[in-house]
């Protein structure tokens, strides 16, 4: 089949002696500026000549010129293609060194915050010992079951009339999520309270859109906090203020009185791992109620609990419709799924759904239907139970290794849940220095300072975070031993 060829070529009028020259010039220009990509197949000379209204001999001559110059490559029996490697002096577009290159648009300032990192877990390649946080082990995920449920959803979708879906999310998935969080986290909600999002990241962006008045709204975040939520608020124009935390979680008495949005991770503080005490939870809800503020509760990985009784979610304790509960399936299933949700107070639900509709109308229907069946048939609960055992073994190995090799250097921060464990770094050595040397030794892990609003500010905790989603149990002891040797 002939390739699609939509390139606009304007040729001189009939009788012009510049026909071949213009044909050659415009094809060459299209290759140089990228409109014809390397490896692209060109139409046969006969077909293109007929389309442009020129003789085939003229078209052959233009192709021959480009072939001789190295712009095209002829493959016998297969056709003519744009060369994968252009002549050295003719690659790419000229660089733009004019005023546009140095232009600074003030509307982009919130998106260019120094040190902003919306995806702190990403690395160019896996290291030998990978302690990155926030990434689950997908090796044990039942992809065969997921494939079967996806096929079923696709067959059902093929029988339905073509139409756009509900911006709030598929009804079956919202019903399944409501039952799931009610059973696992005692979050009282119905399907109507839930807005399905493209992961927690989109949830944060939508919430910033409906809750932040640019230049006016003060948003309080924990001193060390998940960068994606913090940066979403900054990009929306909020005044973001960092509030200290301690062994009981957020220091509510340090909240600025003008704070109208408070972002917290009470079940498993990110990244220290501490749980907010019942007293602090009550104080935070009282603060929100008294000042007409709202709380964004990010409950990102608390389903993996290894000891103790889970504390009630803030949403469960809330009696003033102040809490937005954000959940995600990136940690319990796999990040590429890109599905999360918000349990929203009734007064904010319509605005949140409208913001979702304006953002991308609705999420992928096929994945939502497959996830709904995955939850409803009990596969999610079974997978979480299985992974809780696997992660529990790795967590125990990490704690033992920190005691065995890190005594006097590393002190684990108590934590009973989640996919990572953090440790204070004793002595004068800075965590960022340790991380840099560890990377050279094949060990990847983040410093706690990476999650601070200003990593260089005085009082930023000095420590390391150890994720155990990507590293096997057998590797942990050796990796911690080598890390301790670096210290």
Taking the C-alpha atoms of residue 192 and residue 85, their distance in angstroms, rounded to an integer, is 56
- In the predicted model, is pLDDT for residue 91 greater than 60? no
Domain boundary among 72, 90, 108: 90
Q: For the chain, what is the mean pLDDT?
A: 89
Domain count for the chain, please give it. Answer: 3
Q: Determine the 3-state secondary structure of 355 from DSSP.
A: helix
Inside any domain, residue 237: yes
Q: Could you read off the pLDDT of 409-465 as tens digits, one per residue?
A: 999 999 999 999 999 998 888 999 999 999 999 999 999 999 998 888 888 889 999
Query: Region 75-83: what's the mean pLDDT?
Result: 90
Query: Region 465-472: what's the mean pLDDT?
Result: 96
Inside any domain, residue 98: no
Give yes or no: residues 222 and 168 share one domain.
yes
* CATH code at position 363: 3.40.640.10
Query: Region 114-143: what's the mean pLDDT?
Result: 75
Taking the C-alpha atoms of residue 16 and residue 12, their distance in angstroms, rounded to an integer, is 6
Q: Residue 53 has what pLDDT? A: 87
Cis omega before residue 271 (within 30°)? yes
Q: Residue 285 has what pLDDT? A: 97
Give yes or no: residues 395 and 369 share one domain.
no
Give yes or no: residues 239 and 369 share one domain.
yes
CA-to-CA separations, 128 to 410, 476, 478, in angstroms, rounded: 21, 11, 11
Inside any domain, residue 104: no
Give yes or no: residues 76 and 31 share one domain.
yes
Give yes or no: residues 351 and 415 share one domain.
no
Q: Could you read off the pLDDT of 19-71 as tens digits, one per residue?
A: 899 999 999 998 998 888 898 999 999 999 898 888 999 999 999 999 999 99
Q: Residue 89 has what pLDDT? A: 52
Give yes or no: residues 342 and 402 share one domain.
no
Q: Longest C-alpha distance within the chain, in Å?
A: 89
Nearest one of 469, 240, 476, 203 to 360, comparing CA atoms: 203
Inside any domain, residue 107: no
* CATH code at position 433: 3.90.1150.10
Give yes or no: residues 132 and 164 share one domain.
no
**Structural domain of residue 40, as residue ranges?**
19-90
Q: What is the pTM of this model?
A: 0.83
Residues 6+ apart with CB under 8 A from 116: 227, 231, 234
Residue 485: burial class (beta carbons within 10 Å; 0-12, 13-18, 19+): exposed
Inside any domain, residue 110: no
* CATH code at position 50: 1.10.10.10
Looking at the chain, the whole-number percentage of residues with pLDDT higher than 70 is 91
Query: Region 370-375: what's the mean pLDDT?
Result: 97
Query: Region 317-339: what's the mean pLDDT?
Result: 95
Give yes or no: residues 357 and 215 share one domain.
yes
Q: In this structure, what is the dihedral angle of CA atoms 203, 206, 209, 215, given to the nearest 10 degrees? A: 20
Are the CB atoms for 339 and 329 separated by under 8 Å? yes
Taking the C-alpha atoms of residue 304 and residue 418, their distance in angstroms, rounded to an integer, is 5
Give yes or no: residues 250 and 316 share one domain.
yes
Give yes or no: residues 240 and 285 share one domain.
yes
């Amino acid at each position: 089949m002939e390739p699609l060829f939509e390139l606009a070529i304007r040729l001189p009028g009939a009788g012009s002696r510049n026909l071949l020259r213009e044909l050659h010039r415009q094809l060459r220009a299209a290759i140089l500026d990228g409109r014809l990509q390397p490896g692209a197949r060109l139409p046969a000379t006969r077909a293109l000549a007929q389309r442009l209204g020129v003789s085939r001999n003229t078209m052959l001559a233009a192709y021959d010129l480009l072939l001789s110059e190295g712009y095209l490559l002829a493959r016998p029996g297969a056709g003519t293609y744009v060369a994968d490697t252009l002549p050295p002096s003719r690659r790419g577009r000229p660089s733009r060194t004019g005023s546009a290159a140095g232009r600074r648009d003030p509307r982009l300032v919130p998106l260019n915050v120094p040190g902003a990192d919306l995806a702190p877990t990403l690395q160019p390649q896996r290291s030998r010992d990978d302690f990155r946080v926030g990434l689950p082990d997908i090796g044990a995920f039942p992809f065969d079951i997921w494939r079967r449920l996806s096929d079923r959803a696709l067959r059902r979708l093929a029988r339905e009339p073509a139409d756009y879906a509900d911006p709030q999310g598929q009804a079956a998935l919202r019903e399944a999520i409501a039952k799931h969080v009610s059973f696992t986290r005692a979050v009282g909600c119905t399907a109507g309270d839930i807005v399905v999002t493209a992961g927690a990241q989109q949830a944060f962006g939508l919430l910033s859109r409906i809750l932040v008045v640019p230049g006016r709204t003060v948003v309080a975040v924990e001193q060390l906090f998940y960068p994606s939520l913090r940066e979403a608020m900054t990009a929306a124009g909020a005044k973001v203020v960092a509030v200290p935390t301690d062994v009981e979680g957020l220091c509510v008495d340090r909240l600025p009185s003008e704070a109208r949005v408070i972002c917290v991770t009470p079940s498993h503080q990110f990244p220290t791992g501490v749980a907010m005490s019942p007293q602090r939870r009550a104080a935070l809800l009282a603060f929100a109620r008294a000042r007409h503020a709202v709380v964004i509760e990010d409950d990102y990985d608390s389903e993996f609990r290894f000891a103790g009784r889970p504390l009630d979610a803030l949403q469960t304790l809330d009696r003033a419709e102040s809490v937005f509960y954000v959940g995600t399936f990136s940690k319990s299933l796999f990040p590429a799924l890109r599905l999360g949700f918000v349990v929203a107070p009734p007064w904010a639900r319509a605005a949140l759904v409208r913001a979702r509709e304006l953002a991308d109308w609705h999420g992928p229907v096929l994945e939502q239907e497959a996830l709904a069946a995955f939850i409803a048939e009990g596969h999610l609960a079974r997978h979480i139970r299985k992974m809780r055992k696997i992660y529990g073994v790795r967590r125990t190995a990490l704690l033992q290794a920190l005691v065995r090799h890190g005594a006097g250097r590393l002190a684990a921060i108590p934590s009973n849940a989640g996919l990572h464990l953090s440790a204070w770094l004793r002595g004068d050595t800075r965590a960022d220095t340790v991380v840099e040397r560890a990377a050279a030794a094949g060990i990847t892990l983040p410093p706690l300072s990476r999650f601070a609003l200003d990593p260089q500010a005085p009082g930023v905790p000095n420590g390391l975070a150890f994720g155990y989603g990507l590293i096997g149990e057998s590797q942990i002891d050796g990796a911690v031993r080598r890390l301790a040797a670096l210290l």
